[in-house]
Structure 1
Amino acid sequence: MTWGPDGKIAVVTGASSGIGEATTRRLAGAGLTVVAVARRVDRLEALASDLEGARGRVVPHAADVTDTEAVDALAARVRDEFGACHALINNAGIGGGAFTGREDLDDTLRTLDVNLLGTFRCLAAFSDLLEASAPSRVVNVASVAGKLGIGPAGYAASKFGVVGLSEALSLSWASRGITVCQLNPGFIVTEGFPQTDLTGGPLGRLVGEPEDVADRIAEVLRTGVAERTVPGWYRSFVAFRHVAPPLYRAIASRIDRAGGERRA
């Protein structure tokens, strides 16, 4: 079935900055009503005010994806107020630090709770409404780190989990009229990931902007594809990982982030 934006209802988590903010702007500009979700409601309200002249509109909603009751309340509001959810963009995420032992456990568990379990909570809360609104879309913002495993272990594990979850649901939810996509950004400059160690050097060309990801999300909503990498040429790294594992590991081990730390 074709999927057009006009009159559709979308929910975007992590909407107060970065990829979530850019996606909210992109979708509202295309004519969707976007329920913009984050903890920082002041930023959401400023975003809604800024987009008052857009074809669609933005509805701010404060919620923490680690709070099951808050996520259930979000889904109930969308159901009661709009009667549908045509697109769910699970974007809320954090980076976390290195995992070296017991002293890092709490931080690692927090990363898993936000990035992976938060995605599960949103999918659980919205699954019935998505089915009732079919054809509908789910876009889970994972990461190339969920394919290659370079960087903080907790972050990589959470994104590997999102990739696996997305792949499984893309198969099992298709019969419900719900397409599920794993959207895997490479290095993108955001508030939480400034990428300053890359942007000022020769690898700066590897770094993208949140708007690049927002454009791909809009494309995924139109097409219903099950996987997209941003920028697209990052897929060559993933292919290289599987085609030549020993050579990949030899090269990857020389990358600074292979030490398991998060760079500024």
Structure 2
Amino acid sequence: MSQSYQLADKVAVVTGASSGIGAATARRLAERGMTVVAAARRVDRLDRLASEQARIHARQVDVTDTESVDALAADVREQFGACHVLVNNAGIGGGPFRSRADLDDAMGTIDVNVFGVMRCTAAFADLLEAGAPSRVINVGSVAGKLGLGPAAYAASKFAVVGFSEALSFSWAERGITVCQLNPGFIATEGFPQEQVKRTPIRGLVGKPTDVAAAIEEAIVTGTTERTVPRFYRPFVVLRHTATPLYRAIARKLPRATGTRD
């Protein structure tokens, strides 16, 4: 791993840090010497996380509330004076999209997964530019490349991929590297992957620590796109280079039903 970007003594903000990928990332970055602002709604979980490591600081935030996100950015500015890395990890899965009854759930998924990323990125933009060279890591999903699973979830992650790719070009001149980091099947509290574990591809299910390691790598190397685990990347390539073959395979996968059951 290249050491072009030193982590020690820099400030990172990690959303969705009360469990899963966010908690694993907060721990890993703190172990590397970063001051980590671990942000989420569940303060009790954050406090336990912060008690493990003096470099982790718990802060409550609701990424669906613009005032809450703005208050977090103001607090980080006042308390720490900088933000060098923003990890937009907060996200929810959502259910199947079958009828009008599912609309509110779908809209809620979009609000957290898309507008939450936008709110946080906007709120920290000035701090990131002031601390340049800096990093934004937007945790998307392979579902944002392949369109498998609950429709609103896939749509939200496609949006995160597009938002990240566009910003990676337009924010480069500001000294801010924006990365779309796309995990495959990762077993977490919110995404236990039980559906996948019941199939022959259960060996593809990864752990939150796998993603945390990839996030560290993306920060250090300044990459603008990363798939984790890496062996998912051929599926993405297949989607664009051999679409009929991809669709024939995808139709047989559990997520083609539009659920996570």
Instruction: Tell me the TM-score normalised to structure 2 length.
Output: 0.97
Specify which of 220, 223, 227 is matched with residue 222 of structure 1. 220
How far did 1:197 drift? 2.5
Q: Which moved more, 1:200-209 or 1:95-104?
A: 200-209
Contact 1:136 1:178 in 2 (8 A): yes
- Residue 50 of structure 1: aligned partner: 52
Q: Which deviations, in whole Å up to 9, do the C-alpha atoms of 1:182-239 show, x marking residues without a partner?
A: 0000000000011122235432211000000000100111111000000001010000
User: Is 1:22 the equivalent of 2:20?
Assistant: no
2:220 is aligned with what amino acid? R
Is 1:144–2:142 an aligned residue pair?
yes
Q: Tell me if structure 2 keeps the 8 A contact 1:96–1:262.
A: no
1:27-84 deviation digits (Å, cap 9, x = unpaired):
00000000000000001000110123xxxx0110011100000000000001111111
**Aligned residue identity for 1:228:** R
Residue pairs, 1:101-112, within 5 angstroms: 101-112=99-110
Counterparts of 2:217 and 2:240, CA distance in 1? 27
The structure 1 segments of at least 4 consecutive aligned residues displaced by more than 2 Å after TM superposition are: 197-202
Aligned to 1:253: 251
Q: C-alpha displacement at 1:110, in angstroms?
A: 0.2
Pair 1:133 & 2:141 matched = no
| 8 Å contact kept, 1:6–1:30 | yes
Q: Where does structure 1 lack aligned partners over 5 or more consecutive residues? A: none
Of residues 236, 239, 242, the one that matches 1:238 is: 236
Q: Secondary structure at the match of 2:244?
A: helix
| Paired amino acid for 1:119 | V
1:181 aligned partner: 179
Contact 2:196 2:254 in 1 (8 A): no
Structure 2: gaps (5+ residues)? none
Pairing of 1:60-139 with structure 2 (within 5 A): 60-139=58-137
| 1:93-138 C-alpha deviation (Å, 9 max, x unpaired) | 0000001121100000000000000000001100011000000000
Partners of 1:149 and 1:157 within 8 A in 2: yes
CA distance in 1, matches of 2:151, 2:199: 25
Identity across aligned pairs (percent)?
Answer: 66
SS of corresponding position for 2:240: helix
What SS does structure 1 have at the residue aligned with 2:260?
coil
Paired residue secondary structure (2:247): helix
